[in-house]
A and B are shown apart, each in its own frame.
Chain A
């Protein structure tokens, strides 16, 4: 695929994944861009599904590396507080912000790998693709995903999401 086709097919999904994973807009854009640059630097070719797998795995590792240091992680979370504050606007806007903050908090409570797997699954990755992207045995993906999803929902329930 040429640049535009690859970009159109994969960038929106990739930057969304990176943003969900980090909670940081700039970091998501930087990571998605870096992954695409590496795709071309390495001359990776193949069908869209293969490029997608390569890009998401690369992005996942870039984010892991970037936020491996606890201090960086704390800085990131501090820059994206999870405690909602009531804005002056209408209640609908508050609910939206509150839902976002609670979802972020619930996601941040998950271990790194569980978080990655959950987000990949909800980007439409198959169990096999998830296994490759996060370096786990394919036979373990079902069990790990079930646990991640359950923990995420428990964390959400614990915060009583607004209707």
Chain B
């Protein structure tokens, strides 16, 4: 059954015209051109659209998009890491800068997740300059370490870590290591201190302090060269102090080079 050119267009057809959804058949077009009633109806629908649009807009509120971006980014990181079987790392237990804390947690979780081939986190982190550099810096030891100061062992399937701004003095305390296990300090060109340990390790941070309770060795501590004021304490014993001058090495050294220092726990 075909419509006659004298038939008025129904509301659905006029709505489709108004919303530019589909083309009318030629007879309907001719009718619309000739029929004042249908054109009035169409104009009424356009006014109705404006009314609806305005009413819906009245419901809208303003949003803090940047805060939402940080929340969503962290949620995506955590969820993807958990899906990958990584153990979530507890947040700082004491007062700490929100952005700083979030950045550290995101980094350590994202690092674990992004190590997985095809991980969505890996993909989106690649579009983010700061996160990419951090992630690559964490992964870097496996690819770029010198022979004297290796990074996390390739035999360690999963590992986790925390990264902190080193612009202020920082105390790094490592607990849980057994005699014979190693702590490797690597000098870096960055401006952050990082502590990396096998998965299952726990990290707690507060103002100027980070504590790592590790599940096993080895532990790698990355320290910026030249100026970062960091103190490394292992099992209650000070192993190293770095500052503006030459680092003060007081722990049980196994080897030392320009790349860093390796300690073996006694």
Chain A contacts to B: CB under 8 angstroms: 1-7, 11-12, 15-16, 19-20, 23, 25, 29, 32-33, 36-37, 40-41, 43, 96, 99-100, 102-104, 106-107, 118-119, 121-122, 126-127, 142-143, 145-146, 149-150, 152-153, 156, 161
B175 smallest CB distance to A (angstroms) = 34
Q: Are B58 and A96 in contact (CB under 8 A)?
A: yes
Q: A11-B65, A33-B75, A146-B12 are in contact. Are A3 and B124 (CB under 8 A)?
A: yes
Q: Give complex CA distance A98, B71 in Å.
A: 32
In whole Å, how far is A57's beta carbon from the nearest beta carbon of chain B? 18
**A17 vs chain B, min Cβ distance (A):** 10
Category for how many chain B residues contact A: 35 or more
> A40-B80, A142-B12, A146-B12 are contacts. A3–B68 as well, Cβ < 8 Å?
no
- State the main secondary structure of chain B at its contact with A: helix
| Nearest CB in chain B to that of A96: its residue | B58
Q: Give the interface SS of chain A, mostly helix, strand, loop or mixed.
A: helix
Q: Do A4 and B127 contact each other (CB < 8 Å), given the known contacts A121-B19, A149-B52?
A: yes
**Residue B85 lies at the interface, judged by CB distance under 8 Å to chain A:** no
- A to B CB contacts below 8 Å, 28 in the list: A2-B123, A3-B76, A3-B125, A4-B128, A7-B73, A11-B72, A16-B60, A19-B59, A19-B61, A29-B63, A33-B75, A40-B120, A41-B80, A41-B83, A100-B58, A100-B59, A103-B56, A106-B55, A107-B56, A119-B56, A121-B19, A126-B21, A127-B16, A142-B21, A150-B11, A152-B55, A153-B52, A156-B55
B142 part of interface (Cβ distance < 8 Å):
no
Instruction: Give me the interface of B with A, judged by CB distance under 8 Å.
Output: 11-12, 15-16, 19, 21, 48-49, 51-53, 55-56, 58-61, 63, 65, 68-69, 71-73, 75-76, 79-80, 83, 118, 120-121, 123-128
Other A-B pairs beyond A3-B128, A19-B61, A118-B52, 5, CB < 8 Å:
A2-B126, A40-B120, A122-B56, A126-B21, A127-B21
Q: How far is the CA of A146 from the CA of B76 in the complex (A)?
A: 38
For A103, list chain B residues within 8 Å (CB). Answer: 55-56, 58-59
Query: CB within 8 A of B68: which of A5, A29, A99, A100?
Result: A29
Query: Which residue of B72, B79, B83, B126 is within 8 Å of A7 (Cβ)?
Result: B72
By CB atoms of chain B within 10 A, which of A7, A126, A143 has the most? A7
Expressed in whole angstroms, the Cα–Cα distance for A145 and B22 within the complex equals: 15
Q: Which residues of B contact A146 (CB under 8 A)?
A: 11-12, 15
A99 nearest CB neighbor, chain B only = B58
Interchain CA distance A19-B73 in the complex, whole Å: 20
The 8 Å CB contact of B128, one of A2, A20, A29, A145, is A2
A122 to B18, CA, bound (A): 13
User: A58 to chain B: closest CB distance in Å?
Assistant: 14
What residues of chain B lie closer than 8 Å to A104, measured between beta carbons? 59
Chain A residues with Cβ below 8 Å from B124 are 2-4, 6, 40
